Each structure stands twice: as C-alpha cells, then as structure tokens.
Structure 1
Amino acid sequence: MHMADTVSSSPRARLQRRRRAFQFGFFVLFLVAPALDLLRFDLHEAQLWFLGQRWSLGITAFQQGQATATQTALAILLRGFVPAIVLVVGFLAVAWRYGRLYCGWLCPHFSMVEALNGLLHRATAKFSLWDKRPTLRPGQQPQPRWWPVFGLACALMGFTWAITLLTYLLPPAEIWGGLLHGTLTPNQARFLAIASGVFTLEFAFARHLFCRFGCAVGLFQSLAWMANPKGMVVAFRREAARDCRSCSPPTGSACDTACPMRLHPRDIKRMMFSCVQCGRCLSACETSQGAQQRAPLLQWAVGVDAVRETLRQKKSEQAEREALAQRARKD
C-alpha cells in the first residue's frame, strides 16, 4: 500500500471526511429550514414556526378568552422558558467539555471560511489577506487567475447569507418570488443590498476576526471551555519537539499552516481561545510525520489528560521565561 493510500485511510483522514459531511448537511439544512418551516419567525404574523408547526405560547388564546391565566402561564413556562433553558444549558455543556465543537463541525459560516481560505490560498498562497507571508507548499506558486473566483465566491456567499437570513423573518415564497419577479418591497430590496454588501466585505476581509471576536455563539462556547480545565485540548508531545523541525519550512510548520483560524496549535490553552476543534492541525501533523515514518506529535486530550497537558504547558512557559531572564541578565 502506498503512503498516500495509508494517509487517506487513516482515522484522522476519515474524521475530516466525516466533519465535511456534517458541515455540508448542516449548511443545506440552514438554507432550506425556512422554506420547510423547520425554523423561522414570521414578522407578518408575529408567529414562530418550528418543525412545520406553529409554536404558540397561548397568549392569543388567553386574549380571546379560550384559556385561563394559569393555563397561559403554564404554556409560557413549558413552551417558552423550559425549551430555551434546555437548549442553552445543553449547548454550553457540550462547549464546556469539547470547546467550540459547533463552530468546527456544523457552523455554516465557518464552512465558508474554510472554503474561502482555500480559494485565496490558490490566488496568493495566503489564507488571509492579512497574513504577513505566504505559505507555499513544495512546487506551489500563487495563481492570480483565482482572484476573480475568490471575489465572486465572497459576493455569492454574501448574497446567500443575506437572502437566507431574510427568509428566516419573512415567508420564503414571498422573498424568492419577489426577487424573481422584481416585486420586492423597497425595504426588502434595501435590506438585501446592504446585507449582501456587509457580508461580502466580511467574508473577504474579516471572516477570521468575526469568528474570533464578533460571533456571540463562538464567544460563549470559548468562555465555557476556558472555564473547564478538563475541556478537550490539542496536546503536544514536547519530548519529541525536535521532530517538528522536519516539517517547519520557512513558511511555517504543517500544523500552523493547516489551522483555518490562523492559530498556532502548539500554543498554551489561553492562546487557543478561539480553537474550533476542527482537527485539521492533527491531520496535518499525522501526514507530515507519517511521511517520515514517525508518530504524530499532536492529539486530542480531554479530562485528566487535558489537565496534565495544561500543567505541562505552564511549566514549559515558565521555563522559557526563566531562560530568557537568565540570558537577559548575562547580556
């Protein structure tokens, strides 16, 4: 069996294919959910639709005298507060244990971040317009012909985001019909134009910044994860750190260049605040080290193993600070 076949059939390669499948499925769900009334809020009717059914708190029935105050209060509690609390607690519980798992495995925005990273890298050998230097692979050269593709993809994704979000608030048939027949209201057309422009600029220039600092969903996941010392982290076999030199060309190591969030996976946990647990750094490490018949240096650690990794990171950081201080005193 060739090395390429071995790598492509490795557990981490299969994990990435599984992650891509989850991302694709959730992205399709994100697009079709309003049209199928799986989830949307109709501003015309002030009505929430969920799984094809009207989701009511019973307030209208109370106003019409069809329900008592006690029945209405119970309906608000059971159909409003309880589902919301269960959803938030369950979501944060997953984040507490596994970090920003939703971002790396489901989030439709992050799926587009990864796709646009790939297109921009073809055009400039950079994954972000703000990268200071290119990350060229052996034999690779920037191909300017990909610039128009990158720009068109940003615009297309910006428009897709704008019109999809609008269909979560207004009937999809009304929006798509108005778009096709030119009968959108001025406010609808204005929203689509402005939102498309904003999203296009965000995808082109600030997609990583938004994921790190602008997304409330990602931020709360990160806060929950940082508060748990046993939360899943990327562990680095520091005793074999010298093996990293073989996969560290002038443009950066394999794991650093693989990270779609532009992080450095071997950093301490607090420097990995916005890690989305996509596992691409682990796959890149496995590919690079496997080509040299060596075991991967990166792996996921959770529970007690995560605590040990954090303690090792702190000791390593303290040792580095002490070494720097000693050199400074000698100088």
Structure 2
Amino acid sequence: MTTDIWPERVRLRTRRRILQTVFFLLFILAPPLNILRFDLYANNLILFGHNIELGFTGFQYGFTASSEVILNLIFKAFLPLASAGLLLIYVAWRWGRLYCGWLCPHFTMVESLNKLMLRATGKPTVWEKAPLPLPLRQADGEMLKTSAWHWMPLLLLSIGMAFIWALTFLTYAIPPGVVYFNLAHGQLSLPQFLFITVVTGILALDFIFARHLFCRFGCSVGLIQGLAWMANRKAMTIGFNRKAAKDCHDCNNACDNICPMRLKPRTLKRKMFACTQCGECIEACIQVESPKGRDSLLKWVDGACAIHKTTGRDNGKDCF
C-alpha cells in the first residue's frame, strides 16, 4: 500500500481550492483592474491596461473604413479569442474538463451550494430522487444531520452571489467606476437597473435549482470540452479498479454521493460526459479505504489504462 497517498490528495484538494479562489477573484476584479473588459463608452477593448482601438468610433463618424474595422476585429479580437479557444480544446482533449473543475466560477458555486443543500435537505440538489441515508454518513465517517436552518445561508449566498455576478457582468461593458458610483448613490440608469435585476433573478434561480444541470446541459464551454475529451480514448479519466470491486460492498457509494455533477464515477466514460476532473470521488474513495488499510479503487489514469473506461473491458495492463 502506498503510504503517502492521503497527504498528497489533501494537498491536491487544497491546490484546487486555491486555484478556484484566485480565478474567482480574477473574474470579479478583472474589470476594475483593467485586466479585461470592453468599454461601451469608448468602443474599445481594454486588455492589461492597454486600450485596443477597434475603429468603431471612427467608423461611426465616417473617418475609418469598414475594411479597417473588420481587420481590427479579426486580428485584435477574433484571433486571440480563437487561440484561447484552441488551447482550451487541446487541454480538454488531453485531460478533460479541467477548466470546469479547477477554475470555473460557476462550478465553484455548484460545489459550495451543494454542501449547503445537503445540510438543508439531505440531498445535494432539489432534483435528487430521495435524501441520502440519514443520518448522512460522509466519506470520512462523519455523521451529518440535516436542518432546515441551512436554507437561510443557502438563499443568502445564492442571491448575494447572483447580485455580485450581475454587477460584475455589467462592469465588463460599462466602466466599473461609473457602475459603482451610480449604485452607491442610487443613480443607476433604467437599463443598468433592469440588467442587474433581471440577471440577479436568473442567476439566483440557477444557483438554487439548476446549477449542476446548467453545467451538464446548458454551458457551451463545458459542452465543447466534453466533446473534445470524448474524441480521445486515451485522455485522462477516472479509472476504476474492477479487480478490487468487492471492496465497494462495505461502502455507501461515497464516490457517487460526493460528485458535484451527480455522476457515477465507476461507470463507462460515455456516461461521464460532464465529468469535471475535480477528483472529489477519488478523495472520497481514499477516505473510505485508507482506514481499512486499502488503496483507493479510483484514480486518474490515461493512455492505455484509460481505454477500459471507453470499451468496458480490461486491457490486461496493471494500471492499479
């Protein structure tokens, strides 16, 4: 048995939490720090403090040709975005939806709200068929009891973060100083007020009712990553040690219960399309098996060892 696997997984989870937090702060602070935003007032793109003129203002007043605007859009906007998109696709082809599980602000909300929903209702989402066995036995052995009082922080976090997101989205298009000043002095214009109100409402409903469903079925970024991942039979995936499957008998499906996307990690890859490679199922399996002196039945695998998740057949390699 590998003796240092438990501390390593703890460090891995900590690194993921740090990355999620940093990227979430970057998402919120990118406009006020002029890291990335489009200024509708000046009609130009701001990237790392530099104004990138696209020619919209000149075209509007007749001293910039349409062909120049088109070239600006291609070389200053489209090509950089396309390059970032290709990098995202390549990463997904090799390692799966790493962006979702390790950076995406929305998935960070999914994980946080799932935990509160579990404490409020005994279910990670309102759409779960039935509560998990009560009292809820966690992978680490903790007995978790539910309380309706947890609905209060759940609703406050959902609505509060929905408002922050709506405000942030607005600052990506309108100078942040203008938005913050108008909000602080009660001087939001009607379009600004309607945008913040409507987006806050939509996001709050998403966070409370459909957060993981959006990640699975509604997010185009996630869909593109999933398709790229499925195209590579040797891409990194969650491998399952079928030879030791009997060790699952004394476990209460900890890996299934903890999955934020409500997937079953031991199943075939085609049923894991929305897997975000967060590794929580591996962590849960380690927590269950380690006290019993056994290795985890789940771990990341790639190459030839990943093919069994696609075909459903062992390839004869000793991948565990």
Alpha-carbon displacement from aligned partner over 1:66-85 (angstroms, at most 9, x marks no partner): x9x7x887755543343233
Gaps of 5+ in 2: 316-320
1:172 and 1:182 map into 2 onto residues whose CA distance is 15
Alpha-carbon displacement from aligned partner over 1:168-212 (angstroms, at most 9, x marks no partner): 111111111111100000111111111111110110000011010
1:305 and 1:166 map into 2 onto residues whose CA distance is 46
1:190 and 1:265 map into 2 onto residues whose CA distance is 42
Tell me whether 1:80 sits opposite 2:77 in the alignment.
Answer: yes
Residues 72 and 144 from structure 1, CA distance in 2 versus in 1: closer, same or farther, beyond 3 angstroms?
closer
For 2:210, the equivalent position in structure 1 comes to 206
Alpha-carbon displacement from aligned partner over 1:200-251 (angstroms, at most 9, x marks no partner): 0110000011010111111110011111111111110001101001112xxx
Higher helix share: 1
For 1:197, the equivalent position in structure 2 comes to 201
1:103 and 1:306 map into 2 onto residues whose CA distance is 20
For 1:268, the equivalent position in structure 2 comes to 268
Alignment of 1:71-150 (within 5 A): 77-135=74-132, 136-137=136-137, 139-150=143-154
1:230 to 234, 238, 259: 234
User: Which deviates further from its counterpart, 123-132 or 260-269?
Assistant: 123-132
Secondary structure of 1:194 counterpart: helix
Which amino acid counterpart does residue 40 of structure 1 have in structure 2?
Answer: R
User: Which deviates further from its counterpart, 102-111 or 118-127?
Assistant: 118-127
Residues 185 and 277 from structure 1, CA distance in 2 versus in 1: closer, same or farther, beyond 3 angstroms?
same
TM-score with structure 1 setting the length: 0.85
Which amino acid counterpart does residue 247 of structure 2 have in structure 1?
Answer: D
For 1:322, the equivalent position in structure 2 comes to none
Q: How many pairs align?
A: 304
User: Which deviates further from its counterpart, 80-89 or 14-23?
Assistant: 80-89
Identity of matched residues, %: 46
8 Å CA contact 2:165–2:200 kept in 1: the answer is yes
Gaps of 5+ in 1: 1-5, 317-331
For 1:156, the equivalent position in structure 2 comes to 160
For 2:22, the equivalent position in structure 1 comes to 25
Secondary structure of 1:291 counterpart: helix
8 Å CA contact 2:216–2:222 kept in 1: the answer is yes
Higher-Rg member (1/2): 1
Which amino acid counterpart does residue 205 of structure 1 have in structure 2?
Answer: F
Which amino acid counterpart does residue 215 of structure 1 have in structure 2?
Answer: C
Which amino acid counterpart does residue 262 of structure 2 have in structure 1?
Answer: R
1:240 and 1:8 map into 2 onto residues whose CA distance is 18
The structure 1 segments of at least 4 consecutive aligned residues displaced by more than 6 Å after TM superposition are: 59-63, 71-74
For 1:186, the equivalent position in structure 2 comes to 190
For 1:44, the equivalent position in structure 2 comes to 41
Secondary structure of 2:229 counterpart: helix
1:199 and 1:72 map into 2 onto residues whose CA distance is 34
Residues 191 and 8 from structure 1, CA distance in 2 versus in 1: closer, same or farther, beyond 3 angstroms?
farther
Secondary structure of 1:54 counterpart: strand
1:315 and 1:305 map into 2 onto residues whose CA distance is 8
TM-score with structure 2 setting the length: 0.88
Residues 140 and 59 from structure 1, CA distance in 2 versus in 1: closer, same or farther, beyond 3 angstroms?
closer
Secondary structure of 2:143 counterpart: coil
Which amino acid counterpart does residue 195 of structure 2 have in structure 1?
Answer: F
Alignment of 1:164-313 (within 5 A): 164-248=168-252, 253-311=253-311, 313=312
1:144 and 1:82 map into 2 onto residues whose CA distance is 50
8 Å CA contact 1:7–1:13 kept in 2: the answer is no
Residues 224 and 124 from structure 1, CA distance in 2 versus in 1: closer, same or farther, beyond 3 angstroms?
same
RMSD of aligned Cα (Å): 2.3
Tell me whether 1:53 sits opposite 2:50 in the alignment.
Answer: yes
Secondary structure of 1:133 counterpart: coil
8 Å CA contact 2:44–2:56 kept in 1: the answer is no
